[in-house]
Amino acid sequence: MPTHRETVLAALHARLQPLAALTLRHEVLPERIPAAGLIILRDGQPGEPEVTLSPLRYHFQHRAELEVIVQAGTGRASAFDDMIASIGAALETDRTLGGLCDWVEPEAPASVDLPIEGAAALKAAVITVVLHYTTTGPLA
C-alpha cells in the first residue's frame, strides 16, 4: 500500500497530465523537448513535520519541484508563460488534490535561458509546489 506522501505526489502528477506539455515523473531530461514543452515532477523534500499530540499527527509542508522546460524558436517566452499559467490554472482547480492535502501552493518561478549549441535555446524554471498534508506517522 502506498504511503500518503506517495499518494499525494501521484495525485499532483495526475493533476498535471491533461496539460499540453509532456509531464513526467522521476525522469532524466530527454534529448528532445516536445514542442508543447516539458514538465518533470521531482519528489523534493517533505521537510521536518510539526507534530501534534492526542491524537498523534505529523503535519508536513512537502516541497515538491516541477522542472519546466520550453524550447521554441522566437515564441519561447510566450510559450513558457502560457505553460506556467496552465500549471497555475490546473493547481487552482482543486487546491486539496481531491482531499489528500490541506492546501497546495505553487511558488513563483525564477526562469533562466539556457543556450544549446546548434539548437534553439531552452527557457526553464523550477517551480516549488508546497503540499500541506497530515499523516499518522513520519513514514506513513
Q: What is the pTM (predicted TM-score) of this model? A: 0.93
Phi, psi dihedral angles at 33 (to 5 degrees)? -95, 130
User: Mind listing the pLDDT tens digit for each residue in 72-95?
Assistant: 767 788 999 999 999 999 999 999
| Class of 4-135 in CATH | alpha beta
- pLDDT mean over 62-68: 97
Q: Is the pLDDT of residue 110 over 90?
A: no
- pLDDT mean over 41-64: 96
Domain boundaries, the chain: 4-135
Residue 52: beta bridge partners? 57
Q: Could you give the CA distance from residue 38 to residue 56 in angstroms, rounded to a whole number?
A: 40
Provide, rounded to the nearest whole percent, the portion of the chain with pLDDT above 90: 77
Q: For residues 95 and 121, which has the higher predicted lDDT (pLDDT)?
A: 95
139: left (phi over 0), alpha (psi -120 to 50) or beta: alpha
* Chain CA centroid to CA 66, Å: 3
Per-residue pLDDT at 119: 75
DSSP state of 116: E
Q: Could you give the CA distance from residue 122 to residue 96 in angstroms, rounded to a whole number?
A: 32
